[in-house]
A and B are shown apart, each in its own frame.
Chain A
Amino acid sequence: MLAIRIRNLGRYFGPHVEIDGAERPGEAWRALLIVAGFNVRPAAGDDVQRTVTVPGHVLRDISLDIEQGSAVCLVGASGTGKSVLLRILAGVIPPTAGSVEMYGSVSSLLAVGDNLDNRLTAFENIQKFRIALGVPAAAAATYETDVIRFAGLEGFEHVPIRTFSTGMTLRLSVALALSGTPSIVLIDDVLGVGDIAFQQKCVDRLHQLKEENCTLVLAFSDETLVQQLATRVITLGGGRVVNDVQPHHWMPHQFVSTAADVEWRTAQQLPEDDVIALRAIDVELYNDGEDTAVDVQFTLETKAVRLQCWPTIYVVRDRVVVFRSVFSGFVPMAEPGRLTFGVRVPTHILSDGDYIMTFGVATRQESTIYSLKAQDAVSLSVRRPKQSADDAASNPVLTVTMPWEIEALTRPAE
């Protein structure tokens, strides 16, 4: 029996205008004009840091049938649309295309604490939830004690939520989301912040729900949780379903370049209304036995005459710049047109983890340097065979093999 039917689902995010000082009346008009597609000259004294993001698809043409009693794990690098899909399923945001049909009562946890009222006590929150779920008054006492016990909040029943620690809020949130007898449970990647014991408790409860024929849709990034729970693993990439398999067929690939068909564009204005645009055209893996790399090509389009530019690339992990590179020297452009830049990014030096590659072009007009940064990025996941256990203690960002020199300095003493 079907629990969820998704047909040609798409989600498109409209133009998002971000302009410094848009709260000023004059700037608001300017923002409206830009949204309407007019080419508005920047106000005097403003720099080119302002951006107008070109709208884009986050999800496109997704069709899925999810059977009752199955546990679906959504995986994929961040920014591939897992959370947006869950939000659409939960009814928080509407899809812009296609249809979603859900059969049964839905319980969801998309962010820690989003099902709690901060001003109320834990007990009042539970009562509110119980009434919303329609648990009869006769079963009220058992329901309340069950939730409190599951969250491990004995003794804190009458304390307002706002005084709770992060861990306590998380536990209560999860306990409520998993309480009662929902037929569909949607959980975004929130369990990561809880302690191991609580995580195990949640896994047990999710197993129990599954046996009660409840449908689970989970977005977990923890591989062990995926292996423990899932009956079906769906990999999202670039807003589409890339892979849909049974868990024992699913293995974290060595590389998951989830944005292989990146289609990003950004346009910014240089002074004198010279429009400049960046476009990514190709990302492909390169492998010559030992060294692996990613070849990236991106194109610069401009109407500007006499432009000098430096293409740049940044590789970022957890908001830390791992390295960046710039083309050595100015690229002179004699006439308006198009330039394609290619760069080989070594990936064999990166350790296990998720990285983001961003691109940009710096241009110089007279003595001023402008930077044009692509709004979107290419995400790169590096998966390696697990190292031995003693390596797990420290986790360096790079795995570079350095050459060593070892020599004896003294003659052996007698």
Chain B
Amino acid sequence: MTESRISACGVTKVFDRREARRTKGISTEGIGALRTLIRETWRTAPGRAAVAARDKYHTWALDDVSFEVGPGEVLGIIGRNGAGKSTLLNILARVMHPTAGRVVIRGKVVSMLELGIGFAPDLTVRQNLQIHGRLAGIPARRIDEAEDEILGFAGLSDCREVPLAACPSGSAVQLAFAAVIGLGADVILADEVLAVGDSRFRHACEERVRNAGASGESVLFVSHDMAAIRRICTRVLWIDRGRIVQVGPTDHVVDNYMSELLGGKLLPAATEDVPPCTLLDLRLLDAERSQVGALQLTEPGYIDCLVRITSPDIAVTVEIELWQRRLHVLTSVAPRPITARSPRTFRAGMRIPAHFLNEQQYQARCKLIVTSISDPAAPPVVAGEQRLDFAAMNPRPHESVWKDWPWGRGGLISPRLEWTVASP
């Protein structure tokens, strides 16, 4: 049996909410520098960390996760919003330290946690590619050799000497993906990458990921797009609330996941009190109401909540706020409260019209407001709260009215207005 490329053993990550408020960054001056030096030198060895308490101050993002990935395997990671998928990938990419547990990765790792990071908009496409490759430790000659192929794949052969900022939007993403694939790696960590770019590019990417698997590279792939998971992955890992629920063949695990999620069985263990209503998941749907990782601007989409109601005595109103960085864009409240005579799961989706949002990152914040039916005087209670970060992309940047616009993509939204032109 061949040696596994990735082996994770008992990986645990606990976020301390009190600690987050203290300064944790790396300081280079004064007493902070000394503190950083001591902290980084005698860092608590993984596995020997004091196991944190299970109280309200500690969030167990990952709880004793162990798995192995062999060469040539494409492992998909699925789970609800906030299940710990991205934390796991961040730990594997060494962006975060695990609180306990051990991760061994054999081979060169390329992580695509956020595509486009590390590209300089004022350098040309070729210079960017050189810098990217050299940072990854690839000799200049090999980058030169691979250049034609990479630029061809990214569709940027014509803009070799054009600054990246002047290229069509989404170029950085396509270039990053093409570079990662074209320059070669043993292990690829990909978080929701196939959500970006136009459909032609997405298909090309899927093809390349499948080929990468076939040529012996290991791929770890996080996505909300179940269709993409089914097409690409050879094995799927399903995690929920930081624990592995199931690992196994793709179709089997995905089917189980879908039926449990839509059947609303993903509830706390029976020993705990069953709350009268739970926000099971907050997700992004496309026009056909299948789950996706990014919103396509040219089509309508939904920000969708799965709500489980177990008490007949409550009326639940769903409220979704949309934020762009620190700006509150809009609030929308569902037009009618949801009630259930017997335990049921509901989906409430806020429809986002086509050509409404801008090419930006957004955050949806969902709240369940619960009022009692038998006691109308009781003040409403906020039951569940979840946040979902997503990107709104233009799938066909070449057809966008802003395609030649060199001054950025500002704006909270980007509605289409009625224009008239007349020459007197």
A contacts, CB < 8 Å to B = 311, 313, 320-329, 331, 337-346, 349, 362, 364, 369, 371, 394-414
Q: Select from chain A the residue with minimum beta-carbon distance to B352.
A: A402
Q: Are A340 and B422 in contact (CB under 8 A)?
A: yes
Question: Is residue B39 within 8 Å, beta carbon to beta carbon, of the partner chain?
Answer: no
Q: Report yes or no: B358 in contact with A410, Cβ–Cβ below 8 A.
A: no
Which single member of A321, A329, A406, A413 contacts B338 (CB below 8 Å)?
A406
- CB neighbours (8 Å) of B322 from chain A are 396
**A404 near B332 (CB under 8 angstroms)?**
yes
Which of chain A's residues have a CB closer than 8 A to the CB of B347? 405-407, 409
Q: Is the CB of A400 within 8 A of B332?
A: yes
Chain B's closest residue to A330 (CB) is: B404
Which residues of A sit under 8 angstroms from B41, Cβ to Cβ?
Answer: none
Which residues of A are found within 8 Å of B358, using beta-carbon distances? 323
User: Would you give the shortest CB distance from B332 to chain A, in whole angstroms?
Assistant: 4
Indicate the member of A311, A395, A405 with the most B CB atoms within 10 Å: A405
B141: interface (CB < 8 Å): no
Distance, CA A394 to CA B264, complexed state (A): 31
Contacts of B344 on A, CB cut-off 8 Å? 408-413
Q: Which residues of A contact B352 (CB under 8 A)?
A: 402
Interface residues of B in 111-162 (CB under 8 A from A): none
Query: What are some 11 contacts across the A-B interface (CB < 8 A)?
Result: A311-B421, A323-B414, A325-B414, A325-B416, A338-B424, A403-B351, A408-B346, A410-B263, A410-B345, A412-B340, A413-B344
- Known A325-B417, A412-B341: A395·B328 in contact at CB below 8 Å: yes
Give the residues in chain A near B405, CB-CB below 8 Å.
326, 362, 369
Q: Which 3 A-B pairs have the closest CB atoms?
A: A412-B342, A342-B420, A321-B410
Question: If A362-B405, A410-B264 touch, does A322 touch B351 (CB 8 Å cutoff)?
Answer: no
On chain B, the residues within 8 Å of A395 by CB distance are 328
State how many angstroms separate the Cβ of A285 from the closest Cβ of chain B: 15
Q: Which residues from 343 to 392 on chain B have a C-beta closer than 8 Å to any C-beta of chain A?
A: 343-352, 358
B262 proximity list for chain A (CB < 8 A)? 409-410
Contact in complex: B424, A324 (CB < 8 Å): no
Give every chain B residue within 8 A of A329 (Cβ-Cβ).
Answer: 401
> Are A397 and B328 touching (Cβ within 8 A)?
yes
Supposing A322-B412, A325-B415 touch, asked if A406 and B334 sit within 8 A by C-beta, the answer is yes
Is A325's CB under 8 angstroms from B330's CB? no
- A323/B415 contact (C-beta < 8 A), A412-B344, A413-B342 known: yes
Cα-based distance from A163 to B245 in the complex (angstroms): 60
What is the count of residue pairs linking A and B with beta-carbon distances less than 8 angstroms? 149
Cα distance A269–B252 in the bound complex, in angstroms: 67
Docked CA distance A125–B351 (Å): 61
Chain A residue at minimum C-beta to C-beta distance from B303: A402
User: How distant is A125 from chain B, measured CB to nearest CB, in Å?
Assistant: 37
Given A325-B415, A396-B322, A406-B334, 16 extra CB contacts under 8 A? A322-B412, A323-B358, A325-B419, A327-B419, A329-B401, A341-B421, A342-B420, A369-B405, A404-B335, A406-B318, A406-B336, A406-B346, A407-B346, A409-B263, A409-B344, A413-B342
Q: State A228–B279 Cα separation when bound (angstroms).
A: 47
Q: Contact: B423 with A338, CB < 8 Å?
A: yes
Choice from B332, B342, B411, B424 contacting A323 with Cβ under 8 Å = B411
Q: Is the CB of A412 within 8 A of B417?
A: no
Query: In the complex, what residue of chain A is closest to B300 when comparing beta carbons?
Result: A403
The verdict on B26 contacting chain A, using a C-beta distance below 8 Å, is: no
**Known contacts A340-B423, A412-B342: A369-B330 contact under CB 8 Å:** no
On whether the beta carbons of A344 and B411 are closer than 8 Å, the reply is: no
B330 and A400 contacting across the interface, CB-CB below 8 Å: yes
Greatest chain B CB density within 10 A among A329, A338, A410 is at A410
Return the chain B residue nearest A344 by Cβ: B418
Complex Cα gap A411–B341 (Å)? 11
Contacts of A403 in B (CB 8 A): 350-351
Residues of B within 8 A of A341 (CB): 419-421
Q: A401 contacts B351, CB within 8 Å?
A: no
> Which A residues are in CB contact (< 8 Å) with B424?
338, 340
Contact between A326 and B401, CB atoms less than 8 A apart:
yes
- Chain B residues in 8 Å Cβ range of A402: 330, 332, 350-352
Q: Are A396 and B421 in contact (CB under 8 A)?
A: no
Given A404-B334, A410-B345, A396 and B329 touching (CB < 8 A)?
yes
B417 adjacent to A320 (CB under 8 Å): no
* A404 and B330 contact, CB distance less than 8 A: no
CA–CA, A204 and B120, complex, Å: 57
- Rounded to whole angstroms, the CA-CA distance of A229 and B351 in the bound complex is 46
B199 at the interface (CB under 8 A from A): no
A residues less than 8 Å from B404 (CB atoms): 364, 369
From B263, B336, B405, B415, name the one whose CB has the most chain A CB atoms within 10 angstroms. B415
Specify which chain A residues have a CB less than 8 angstroms from the CB of B251 in the assembled complex.
none
Q: How far does the alpha carbon of A339 sit from the alpha carbon of B423 in the complex, in Å?
A: 5
B230-255 interface with A by 8 A CB criterion: none
